[in-house]
A and B are shown apart, each in its own frame.
Chain A
Amino acid sequence: MATVEERAEPGRKKVSEEVLRDFFREMLLIRRFEEKVEERFRAGELPGFLHVAIGQEAVATGVCSALALEDVFASTHRAHGHSIAKGTPAKKIMAELYGKTEGCSGGYGGSMHLYDLSVGNLGANAVVAGGLPGIVGAALAFQMRGEKRVAVAFFGDGATNTGTFHESLNLAQLWRVPAIFVLENNGWAESTPAVQQLPLPVDQMGKRAAAFGMKLIEADGQDVEAVYLAALAAREHALAGKGPVLLHLRTFRLTGHFVGDPQVYRDRDELKQERETKDPLRLLGARLDLSDGDFASVDADVTAEVEAAVEFAKAGTDPKPEDALKYVYA
């Protein structure tokens, strides 16, 4: 991976084609990973409760590419993409979904609780907004120790209706900690559309920042370059000691809320149209003018990586039942 400095190309506010091709590969890897998760769940191989981020790949890749290895983040129930983008190998995530000891959480966490401290993943959370206060605390620790690091919380539009969200942003702003709150606004909280859960038009959710006097940065969440540049700007702001940032990214969930969701609540035509016009991979592919051959070779490469991840996971070790008590300390 290129370093942040290389990718930023300061002054040009434009990302090189080479970097965009890297982004494309990673986004396609996430897409193929998620499709494989859906397929293996339907085949009855994956236990538990799975949420994929198909349609939201540009958020994961754009934000995480702007972060340094030592930056930390907390994720949500929809965590696979963020985790891949921050650097956890796909095979360790897949092994976790299969409940194997080789998984990134040792088989203890599952899809909604991916952890990987080695790349700064402080944990995915199955409680909506559950990770936000901890990110304020991580950023506080960096501030107190004078470390040039940021702490990042990913969360959805639905999460902004929790008390946890409001308390966290208030505290972060009050103490000016280097935190970035990444609002992944896909316009849905499960089956509940924005009009039923937000007293603001869906595209104006960023206004919530004003209530805290917090810096707001917004970008089109389907445009990975825009996301990346916005995230770089957010990081710069936070590291300059100017306080936290609400990074509002409008994005689209192009599948069900969870794997197996029949989406009875969703307008079919609208979904079809969103798939055609809002797919971040299509948008980036068109922009890069990828030939069929180019696309096929990247696709073959990432598909092989995903297949290898499944092989790795299936060949993994099942924990012993009594390992359940291994980390219980009282």
Chain B
Amino acid sequence: MPELTYREAVRDALAQALRADENVFVMGEDIAEMGGSMAVTQGLLEEFGPTRIRNTPISEMAIVGSGIGAAIQGMRPIVEIMYEDFLTLSMEQLVNQAAKHRTMSGGQVKVPLTIRTQGGAGWSPGAQHAQQLEAWFVHVPGLKVVFASTPQDVRGLLWSAIYDDNPVIFFEHRTLYPIKGEVPSELEPIPLGEARVHREGTDVTVVATGRLVHESLRAAEEAERDGISVEVVDPRTLLPLDEDTIVGSVRKTTRCVTAHEAVARGGFGSELAAVIQHGAFDWLDAPIERIGAKFAPLPFAPAMEQWVVPHAAEVLEAIRRTVARS
């Protein structure tokens, strides 16, 4: 199997979708000549030209809103919001328009729009360039939400997002762009709404997203040395959620830790905990532990930033706490 970086995997899915379907086009800030602020769209302008690879002004509301309008007319736009912090500026179009048209129109209108964005801490940009806001969108009926953590997943899921007939917010994590991983030689679409079990185990289930999938896998290896067997599950799609796989895993292991980089309070882990306690109440041997960033705007100084966001060590401690209960 060939190896791609996460960045290359995103680019490959975009390029293949652009080749496969003339209705697919990409727009966003600095995505053309510069190839995007994360170099994801590099080379696409050369292959597909400026009509389909469109630089936009700094107008997040209009970028998303015009994407919605084009999508309703049968295009399959992929819009890039440079940092997910700036999704806040397109919130109205996302929440009140994109998410609502299908239902408000009594099913007449479809919005096959993909909104790609990225975020994540670990490089000290300060409070406005590294938030993880995925939980906000999971609260909105009418949106789909994806957060991919490996090259293989990001490629297969992005394809499915592009060809989904509904608006999908597609989160990428900045620190994952350089990681490498094997991918199938032919692009294999991964259906939205299917979790991935990264590692099987019998004592504790860690349900993790984004960067924390990798931190959790590291924590699981550490735990293994202490004789604790950890299962690591990545939902990959947060909305719709693969409740069966997640609840099934916890029924098996009887303990659960949720882990993401976003702040713990009101984070996606809270929703997971609610789903799991309801579905696996009679099986649980310990309270569900939630790992997430501490509740603070991200400070600039590296020592503070590193302390605020979670790493493998915090996941490992949580694993140990759940095991210590019984």
Contact = CB atoms under 8 A, between A and B. Distances in A.
B300 A197 contact: no
Nearest to A107: B301
B307 A99 contact: no
Interface stretch (B52-60, B72-80, B178-186): B52-60
Contact of A128 (B58, B126, B296, B302): B58
Contacts of B86: 127
Q: Which of B126, B128, B305 has the most chain A CB within a 10 Å cutoff? A: B126
A127 B304 contact: no
Interface string B13-26: 00000000000000
A3 interface: no
A110 B124 contact: yes
Interface stretch (B28-36, B196-204, B228-236, B312-320): B28-36
B37 interface: yes
Interface in B26-72: 29-30, 32-35, 37, 55-62
Interface string B275-305: 0000000000000000000111101111111
B89 A324 contact: no
Interface in A29-77: 47-49
A110 B304 CA distance: 12
B89 A110 contact: no
Given A265-B34, A321-B303, A321-B307, A112 B129 contact: yes
B30 A325 contact: no
B42 to A, nearest CB: 9
Nearest to B90: A163
A108 B300 contact: yes
A281 interface: no
Main SS class of interface, B: loop
Interface stretch (A186-194, A222-230, A246-254): A186-194
A196 interface: yes
Contact of B126 (A110, A196, A197): A110
A203 B123 CA distance: 37
Nearest to A324: B304
A162 B302 contact: no
A323 B32 CA distance: 41
A325 B308 CA distance: 9
Nearest to A110: B300
A319 interface: yes
Interface in B99-153: 123-129
Interface residues of A, number: 44
Contacts of A112: 125-126, 128-129
B84 to A, nearest CB: 12
B5 interface: no
B85 interface: yes
Contact of A321 (B34, B35, B129, B306): B306
Interface in A114-167: 125-130, 158-159, 161-164
Interface majority SS on A: helix, strand, loop or mixed? loop
Contacts of B129: 49, 112, 126
A192 B125 contact: no
A48 B300 contact: yes
B33 A191 contact: yes
A320 B303 contact: yes
B34 A47 contact: no
A161 B66 CA distance: 15
Interface string A308-330: 00000000001111111100100
B299 A125 contact: no
Contacts of B304: 107-108, 319-321, 323-324
A113 interface: yes
Given A127-B86, A192-B29, A325-B294, A47 B303 contact: no
B57 A264 contact: no
A88 interface: no
A198 interface: yes
A87 interface: no
Given A107-B300, A328-B295, A125 B125 contact: no
A109 interface: yes
Interface string A257-287: 0000000110000000000000000000000
B85 A324 contact: no
Nearest to A197: B57
A320 B301 CA distance: 9
A197 B58 contact: yes
B128 A125 contact: yes
A127 B126 CA distance: 11
B34 A109 contact: no
Contact of A163 (B59, B125, B126): B59
Contact of B296 (A49, A100, A265, A328): A328
A263 B55 CA distance: 16
A154 to B, nearest CB: 15
A105 interface: yes
19 contacts: A47-B124, A100-B301, A108-B299, A111-B126, A113-B300, A126-B127, A126-B129, A127-B85, A127-B128, A159-B58, A161-B58, A163-B61, A190-B29, A191-B34, A196-B55, A197-B58, A320-B303, A324-B304, A328-B295
Given A49-B123, A108-B299, A161-B57, 17 more contacts: A47-B300, A99-B301, A110-B126, A112-B126, A113-B127, A126-B85, A126-B125, A130-B128, A191-B55, A196-B32, A197-B55, A197-B57, A319-B304, A323-B304, A324-B307, A325-B294, A328-B296
